[in-house]
Amino acid sequence: MTTAGHKVELSILELGRVREGSDRRAALDDARDLARHAEGLGYLRFWLAEHHNMPGVSTAATSIVIAHVAAGTNTIRVGAGGIMLPNHAPYVIAEQFGTLATLFPGRIDLGLGRAPGTDQATLRALRRDPSSSDQFPQDVQELQMWLGPVRPGQRIEAVPGSGTEVPLWILGSSLFGAQLAAELGLPYGFASHFAPQALDQALQVYRERFKPSPQLAQPYALVGVNIVAAPTDAEARVLATSQQMSFANMFRGVRGLTQPPIDDIETYWSPQEKAQASQMLACSIVGGPDTVRAGMQAFVERTSADELMVVSDVFDPTLRQRSFAIIAEARP
């Protein structure tokens, strides 16, 4: 549990968002520049998420983007937040992350999710069976085996991969992931930045049922939160409209690029879209330094999080870097 005087770790979740008027290469380079900036601000991790068939997200080939970011930084941990394991053979993921761990020793994390991170048609293009997610617990343990030491008589080895012991995390937004992380004794990340409904219950289940493992002696909870920070509350509210518009567009079935902020979000979304987006974005803090500090403090007190994984969807890369600098300064 987080105690007074304990500084909460801060990390960043990155989707390599493609902005209107920009392109995919710029999105990938912006991600690397942000990681370099975050490293100087004392952020612990920089994670990239696997999403497919989304024009505004450039991190589908997650392990390759991790290599791009890790090569441009020196100390920050870089990882997957997460790899959607049902989309892949565990053996291939062991080779990919074993290679990353060999190139960037002691800096690679592997967060694992059970959702496909895409739609049914794209799932077919990935050559995956929709029922693959039923195998998730077994796949996690198989992956753990491939990344562990080679056992006597083992005929198949992940090269590179075996013996790298890349730290695994279970990520989720339901009680299923919480139970699995507890059972396997792994750190747990909750996706409250877009699916906050089960947050408190999932953390309780995880902590109550946790069984120590060789990787982890006691529960460790990472919690997602949206934070848009600016010098003033008013400016932050304007900057936050980029994310609010992308959520409204999602409900409209429109998958576009990140849009520049607008002065009044009420002119953009319908009352129903506002209600849906507000529910998904319930774990959000938007404001100037004092508002952000108070909001983070309250959120940490609510969750007893060991670490906050921050999403700061700001359109302009310079203002986005500024947002993360204000957040780092305001950390509880």
Q: Per-residue pLDDT tens for 209-263? A: 999 999 999 999 999 999 999 999 999 999 999 999 999 999 999 999 999 999 9
pLDDT band at 24 (very low <50, low <70, confident <90, very high): very high
Q: Is the dihedral of CA 209, 212, 216, 217 positive or negative?
A: positive
pLDDT at 268: 97
pTM of structure: 0.95
Residue 207's Cβ-count burial label (10 Å; 0-12, 13-18, 19+) is: middle
Q: Beta strands of the chain (E only): which ranges?
A: 9-14, 45-48, 77-84, 108-113, 168-172, 188-190, 221-229, 284-287, 307-311
Domain with CATH 3.20.20.30 in the chain: 1-166
User: Domain 1-166 has what CATH class?
Assistant: alpha beta
Residue type, 45: R
Give the three-state DSSP class for 226. Answer: strand
Could you identify the residue written with the tokens 């902590």? 207
At residue 123 the predicted structure's pLDDT band, cuts being 50, 70 and 90, is confident
Measured between alpha carbons, how far is 311 from 324 in angstroms, rounded to an integer? 9
Averaged pLDDT for residues 92-96: 98
- Provide the pLDDT confidence category of residue 122 given band limits of 50, 70 and 90: confident
Give per-residue pLDDT as tens, 156-196. Answer: 999 999 999 999 999 999 999 999 999 999 999 999 999 99
Q: Considering only residues 118 and 100, tell me which one the structure prediction assigns the higher pLDDT.
A: 100
